[in-house]
Amino acid sequence: MELLIGLLIIAIGSFGQSSSYVPIKKVKEWSWESFWLTQGLFAWLVFPLLGALLAIPEGQNLFAVIGTADSSAILKTIFFGVLWGIGGLTFGLSMRYLGVALGQSIALGTCSAFGTLIPPLLPSLFPEAKPLTLLLTVGVAIMLAGISIIGYAGALKAQNLSEEEKRKAVKDFALKKGLLIALLSGVMSACFNLGLEAGAPIKKVLLDNGVDALYAGLPSILLVTLGGFVANACYCIGQNIKNKTGKEYFSVKGNVLMNNLLFCALAGGLWYSQFFGFEMGKSFLTGSPVLLAFSWGILMSLNVTFSNLWGIWLKEWKGVGTKTVTVLIVGLLVLISSIILMAIANPAA
């Protein structure tokens, strides 16, 4: 029952993340860099800080408690956060050029594989990571097969639609540019899980101080997103200066400003929910080492599944042929099968 609860919590957070790009479409009169930085303020600072505060016992200081952990673990967690921030930045661009469905599928598939396999392959850097097993490798292979099939469906979509139809579904659609950006994004975005793995000593310190396992991983999320915010802020502010769009933050007023802040906050909160749910859900998976090791892959697989469902809802797949839809559905089924395989595996494996 605990395994099912853990998977359900992760799934709820995943649905939130996959929904986070929908509110952004409601932002008005702001350029990409302006709304990206604003939603990032909520996604990478405000909500992670609020989440981290849940883990700290009453009367204690958050940063004082974190400071008792090994300083190298803190620095590594933030460093991987900076690398993830670069991936998060290009992740937004992959949505811009490929749309929600295809962009997230390619980026998250790459992210899932690297984020799952690197920690056990580098035990000296991630001593708390679970060893690589044959079952875990098979699960990742099935997951990547599902991602590849979905990517093929995206290629069929690009062939079937006219340029006008592509632009109608995704305004700045550009397949080759989008694929390159999505692959880069996936590799760099995997650093989020590497940051969480590097932050394992921080989590252990909190557990040793009586913090509930349900919340012990939340401060590490804050450190990772802090590094990511720095990377994204540098780029977005640079773009604001280059494109002379910095005035947008102040030029919109009244209802438009409130509209933008509201939907950026909603997007940020939904985005953060994936990692809030991820860390809380993992606390229920400790009885299954295999499932726990594959938890990052589960989160990414669910993100891909939900993002494609959103893509269908937003009519990004409208106008494609039966073959393309069939390939997409097969890819989603293969993706989900990787989660089922891990779930039914021997918990003691």
Give pLDDT tens digits for 246-286. 999 888 888 899 999 999 999 999 999 999 999 999 999 88
Rounded-to-integer distance, Cα 2 and Cα 7, Å? 9
Per the structure, the complete domain to which residue 95 belongs is given by: 2-344
**339 in any annotated domain:** yes
pLDDT at 314 over 70: yes
Instruction: Provide the pLDDT for residue 160.
Output: 63
Does 90 map to a domain?
yes
**What is d(CA 278, CA 72) in angstroms, rounded to the nearest whole number?**
24
Q: Cα separation of 184 and 194, whole Å?
A: 16
Determine the Cα–Cα distance for residues 130 and 282; give it in Å rounded to an integer: 13
| Predicted confidence (pLDDT) per residue in 123-174, tens digit | 777 877 777 788 888 888 898 888 888 878 877 776 765 555 555 545 566 6
The answer on pLDDT for 50 being more than 90 is yes
> 273: number of CA atoms within 13 Å, CB side?
20
Give residue for tokens 């929908």.
Answer: 22
Q: Name the percent of the chain lying above pLDDT 70.
A: 90
Task: Let me know if residue 72 belongs to a domain.
Answer: yes
Q: Is the per-residue pLDDT at 91 higher than 80?
A: no
Count of domains for the chain: 1
pTM, 2 dp: 0.83
Using the CB atoms, write b or e for 85-111: b if 16+ within 10 Å. Answer: bbbbbbbbbbbbbbbbbbbbbbbbbbb
Q: Is 150 exposed, middle or buried (0-12, 13-18, 19+ CB in 10 A)?
A: buried
* Structural domain contains residue 349: no
Mean pLDDT of 54-82: 88
Lookup: tokens for 334 = 């293969």
Q: Provide the CA 235 distance to its chain's centre, in angstroms.
A: 19
Does the pLDDT at position 348 exceed 50?
no
pLDDT of 335 strictly over 70: yes
pLDDT score recorded for residue 332? 87
